[in-house]
Chain A
Amino acid sequence: MLNVALAKGRLADSCADLFVRCGIRAEILKEETRKLVLETPDKKFRFFFVKPTDVPTYVEYGIADIGVAGKDTLLEAGADLYEMLDLGFEKCRLCVAGFPEMKGHLGKPRLRVATKYVNTAKKLYYSRGEDVEIIPLHGSIELAPLTGLSDVIFDIVQSGGTLRANGLAVLEEVFDISARLVANKVSLKTKAAEILPLLAEMKKHIGE
């Protein structure tokens, strides 16, 4: 049996569609339920519903053999995993955003950056040799520049609606993000007979 970690919410729905197209009996994922563990009727797959940021953890520890997580989550977690497929959905961008007048002032000394992607932001600014103050937040990141907590934010932007509604704008696009299929480094070898055909099948159906 293959153990699959899925992020709760919209990502899980997109995954369910893809799995069904691949001939997996994943209809169960679409049912309204409060169960955290679901098995397909043929017992070939067991799905765990976890918090999106916990997907890399479940896969790195080998509790889940494979999982689906956003590239932003993977960048931030830095877990030791195989990143096997770009599933092409849940596309967005990791951006630096703030008041439009900040454009051209991103290099100012000790720029204050609010983000929930602390590790990714640190790595980014470190690689550029820029000395910034990273302010860790867990949600409503856009509020930080509005209230003066930070100069800019570093966050994912999908439609940009929240930014616009608050008078903010994208100042720099840094990473393209989409959902990725990840695999545990041991499981890929010890369960190759189950995982490899699945990957081949998924590859065919990506983007449909």
Chain B
Amino acid sequence: MAYFKLPQGVRDILPDECRALDGAEAALRGKFLAEGFSFVRTAGLEYYDTFAGIESAVEQSKMFKMTDKDGKLIVLRPDMTLACARIAATKLHGERARLCYFSNIYDFSAGGNSEREVAQAGVEIFGEAGARSDAYVVAFAAECLKAVGVKDFIIDIGHVGFYKGLLEGSGLSEEAAEELRGYINAKDEVNVEIALRHSGASERAQAALLALPSLFGGAEVLSRAEKLTDNALALSALEHLKKVYAYLAETGAAEHVSFDLGTVKSLSYYSGMVFTGLAEGVGAPVLSGGRYDGLCAQFGRDLTAVGFAVGMGRALSAIGKGGAKQC
């Protein structure tokens, strides 16, 4: 046995990189505390059922699974938002909470451009609803990226409700909708068109779904999208994003913001606005988050919620590429 080997997808962080990571965490710690967030450290081992038994289950293939002494299946923490939602719903008794963390999550299936052990720094806000709260989170996410030293970045905003709304009126089966979702997410207009051709959806619904892959860019995207549908859910999603954008413009954070209504991830706990932080030179998001009202209810107490997490490894590589902030 070669003792120096590590399993695939994990690595040691050695002094030089650790200093950079600690520096970034120190900058974020200051930001988080100044905004009234409290740190939590959630259990590293959890029951499989906590993540598999909820509506927006974590995929089985993504979890590191072990069998506990009593025969129950346990997993290495696969997701911090779920862990925080569980805590807010079951262990904190207030109507509001602002939690934050520095923690690793584990993704069994990761490979290619992502690691299996991911260092995250994140915040989760419970009990604050509405467009102003969403705008606050987006602006704070931008502040956090700046604090870490990421210079050229975009916060790309979407909304789960817009796609849901378009589907509502389309009459597509669940299976067909899932196939379509994959194509839309890949901005693959060729296959979106083929999939829609035999779907039986109305012409207007088809046109709107076909437009989704190209509905990204500045705030004008929202006005463009408005003309495509009469669905109430889809329109209220756009209305909401417009409000969020207006608040962001007030705070000056709008310069970092773009929109993409065609980002439609698979079944997730997100219920409203979603966003990712994109930094030049890093091929994958450095930050991701969104609103997940309804998730806490699955753990027994209904709380509105919104949050995001920074992927520290990717954020650091963004700094490496864009030139570290001099300080």
Asked whether A192 lies within 8 Å of B278 as measured between CB atoms, the reply is no
Question: Quick check: is A187 within 8 A (CB to CB) of the other chain?
Answer: yes
| Chain B interface residue number, banded | 20 to 34
Report B's interface with A, CB cutoff 8 A.
112-113, 152-154, 156, 186-188, 190, 216-217, 258, 260, 278-285
Report A's interface with B, CB cutoff 8 A.
57, 60-63, 79-84, 86, 183-192
Interchain CB contact (< 8 A) of B216 among A57, A63, A189: A189
Interchain CB contact (< 8 A) of B152 among A82, A86, A187, A190: A190
Contacts of A86 in B (CB 8 A): 190
Asked whether A61 lies within 8 Å of B283 as measured between CB atoms, the reply is yes
Once A186-B279, A189-B258, A190-B154 are accepted as A-B contacts, the answer to whether A62 and B187 lie under 8 Å apart by CB is: no
Contacts of A188 in B (CB 8 A): 187, 216
In the assembled complex, how far is the CB of residue A93 from the closest CB belonging to chain B, in whole angstroms?
15
Once A189-B260, A192-B217 are accepted as A-B contacts, the answer to whether A84 and B284 lie under 8 Å apart by CB is: no
The 14 listed contacts between A and B (C-beta, < 8 Å) are A62-B281, A62-B284, A82-B188, A84-B187, A86-B190, A185-B283, A186-B282, A186-B284, A188-B216, A189-B154, A189-B156, A189-B278, A190-B154, A192-B258
For B281, the closest partner residue in chain A by CB is: A62
11 new A-B pairs (CB below 8 Å) besides A81-B186, A186-B279, A186-B284?
A60-B112, A61-B113, A80-B113, A82-B187, A83-B187, A188-B187, A189-B216, A189-B260, A189-B278, A190-B153, A190-B278
For A83, the closest partner residue in chain B by CB is: B188
Asked whether A190 lies within 8 Å of B113 as measured between CB atoms, the reply is no
In the assembled complex, how far is the CB of residue A184 from the closest CB belonging to chain B, in whole angstroms?
5
Asked whether A82 lies within 8 Å of B186 as measured between CB atoms, the reply is yes
Asked whether A190 lies within 8 Å of B280 as measured between CB atoms, the reply is yes
Contacts of A60 in B (CB 8 A): 112-113, 283
Contacts of A190 in B (CB 8 A): 152-154, 278-280
Asked whether B283 lies within 8 Å of A63 as measured between CB atoms, the reply is yes
In the assembled complex, how far is the CB of residue A65 from the closest CB belonging to chain B, in whole angstroms?
9
In the assembled complex, how far is the CB of residue A189 from the closest CB belonging to chain B, in whole angstroms?
5
